[in-house]
Structure 1
């Protein structure tokens, strides 16, 4: 059976839109039914992963839900479940259900479906702007101060140099790893990185077929102004998230040449795609090897010899604390830690601050983390 990554031919990328806006753009399927959207462009399947990058489903579900709410409401939380691995060669349909419209809060659920099956589901809550009252209880975790600052670059300038045929050219965001904290216990280790969307997110919304949207609906299109930054943040929040469990345990995933060769051996793309995949894996391997040396030096031990057999996300929650007080195309600091792992699962907490120290969001993810089991010798 022939497969197509999008229902409609992807529109041309607009020069005034950042890469992440083009990646996350949606198309409304008004001929199929109300509040149904689809991905306008093919979605990324990370090398070695079972399905599409989870951040795409998170972000596009958020964008679809945002298209159905008034402009003075903003998302404050979303709770997501990964049900099935998404296929990058098949279009995704996002079905939005308008659960409740209240005076201060609005609730939406979104199901991402492929071939009639739900692959991802989320419930989102939106709050009316400035409805908390003039007097409020306030506190926030402070951003760490013992870390090197991010590169001092213009928002329109990319940190990574562009290379012809490189996967870096296509990346919608970029990150700079910060040395991890030197704690002995895995539950105490903190992994940090600076990240931001590449280019500059435009002030106008992404392309969503202007001719199919009325003037009254135009203000609520996915990605409208601050909504584009929220969708971008949701997309980036899944970067190296559940992988934190393996990283705090010094488990080798890609640093082994044998592991990379095994992934390349099973790859069925063309030669250019193969080179791109190899470059991507080797970049991750270098970061992983450096990080393992830092952890090993701090703990007085070598990297763990155990190997990951399966690692997939099960659920993902985002709590947006200051949803209108940041730009996703400016450097943000993330700090991840894993308070618990056991029974084939692991839990990771993530905090995200803007460069000026404002706590933007807190994320929580649980995933399936299974080791390769040694075969017992038969007597």
Structure 2
């Protein structure tokens, strides 16, 4: 019988936020050095082919961070490839290779494996703080104004998954798909703790930690990596007004092939209906494209961390997404992420397989 974790999941730590608990890793020192596994079951989005890609991105980053020997090195870039769909019912093993430890840069590769097969791979580079010198070249894309994208409400709002329907979101009203810009505010639920992640409760009581002392910026970076995959490649469909679920028949067609329990099926229906509502609101007054998405999956994902220590993932972050190109069954999306105060935190790119349903060939 398959199970979603290799080791019995540890108790949820009350002082950790939901995203810290969800992304917790456990070292497998009995199997080999620099091997980790997911401590808890991973989220499988309703209707998706496999686990949420952001989980693999974030946990690979966390695994690599554990092998960094000094606390003054911080991730500045990671380049990822989605190889196979991850199965949420099978444990994942994260194998870290220590490629290079330099004076200014450290390089790691991480493979996420299930049943001996690589499902996800990434190369991650870390840079020593201040190694760029006291005099540097500086510039950054400015954050959109409050008029362009109003800030979210100050109070707590009920969040579902990675994004809530009440979270401010807007799309540009230009006519050409390559000129459209989609924006949304995101943040991790709850408050990320000051205690470094992946620490067992008994070790906290004894004052021991598995990773470097200092602040908990690693948890914020992992949370950002996790959220960066939210609605990312879906931007290609949105800029073309391809409404995947606004048509109720598409929802029923998706549910028809669902093999989960009735409770899971109802959860999936609720999830798809929420997406359908958002699509309808985004396309209000716009004639939708009558073509339908046949397949849409991520192929690769890159993150460039510009200011990795100057933000909190549990505070509002503004994301801006645009698609400069699509063709040959693929699409490219660029995403910029700012803190609420306007600091450019990261730039992300993702290419995905975006195939439309084809008309049946007429056989003569």
Alpha-carbon separation, structure 1, partners of 2:111 and 2:363: 47
- The verdict on how the C-alpha distance between 1:229 and 1:173 changes in structure 2, with shifts beyond 3 A counting, is farther
Partner residue of 1:219?
A: 211
Residues 173 and 236, structure 1, Cα contact 8 Å, conserved in 2: no
Residues 250 and 304, structure 1, Cα contact 8 Å, conserved in 2: yes
Partner residue of 1:88?
A: 88
- The verdict on how the C-alpha distance between 1:28 and 1:211 changes in structure 2, with shifts beyond 3 A counting, is farther
Partner residue of 2:241?
A: 250
Partner residue of 1:339?
A: 324
- The verdict on how the C-alpha distance between 1:348 and 1:262 changes in structure 2, with shifts beyond 3 A counting, is same
Structure 1 alignment gaps of length 5 or more: 162-167, 297-301
Q: How many residues align?
A: 359
Local SS of the residue matching 1:11: coil
Partner residue of 1:98?
A: 98
- The verdict on how the C-alpha distance between 1:215 and 1:122 changes in structure 2, with shifts beyond 3 A counting, is farther
2:324 paired with 1:326: no
- The verdict on how the C-alpha distance between 1:35 and 1:59 changes in structure 2, with shifts beyond 3 A counting, is same
Residues 199 and 209, structure 2, Cα contact 8 Å, conserved in 1: no
2:301 paired with 1:316: yes
| Deviation by residue 1:143-192 (Cα, 9 ceiling, x = unmatched) | 01111111112xxx4x117xxxxxx3xx3665724221110000000000
Alpha-carbon separation, structure 2, partners of 1:236 and 1:5: 22
CA RMSD of aligned residues (A): 1.9
2:137 paired with 1:137: yes
Measured after TM superposition, the shift of residue 313 of structure 1 is 0.4
2:21 paired with 1:22: yes
Measured after TM superposition, the shift of residue 218 of structure 1 is 2.6
Residues 55 and 234, structure 1, Cα contact 8 Å, conserved in 2: yes
Partner residue of 1:47?
A: 46
Local SS of the residue matching 1:182: coil
Alpha-carbon separation, structure 1, partners of 2:7 and 2:254: 31
Residues 111 and 122, structure 1, Cα contact 8 Å, conserved in 2: yes
- The verdict on how the C-alpha distance between 1:113 and 1:181 changes in structure 2, with shifts beyond 3 A counting, is same
Q: Relative to structure 2, which stretch is displaced further, 173-182 or 345-354?
A: 173-182
- The verdict on how the C-alpha distance between 1:189 and 1:131 changes in structure 2, with shifts beyond 3 A counting, is same
Residues 23 and 172, structure 1, Cα contact 8 Å, conserved in 2: no
Partner residue of 1:360?
A: 345
After TM superposition, the score normalised by the length of structure 1 is 0.91
Local SS of the residue matching 2:171: coil
Local SS of the residue matching 2:284: helix
2:100 paired with 1:107: no
Local SS of the residue matching 1:143: coil
Partner residue of 2:154?
A: 152
Measured after TM superposition, the shift of residue 271 of structure 1 is 2.4
Alpha-carbon separation, structure 1, partners of 2:162 and 2:360: 41
2:72 paired with 1:67: no
- The verdict on how the C-alpha distance between 1:172 and 1:14 changes in structure 2, with shifts beyond 3 A counting, is farther
| Deviation by residue 1:281-319 (Cα, 9 ceiling, x = unmatched) | 11111001111225x2xxxxx100000001110000000
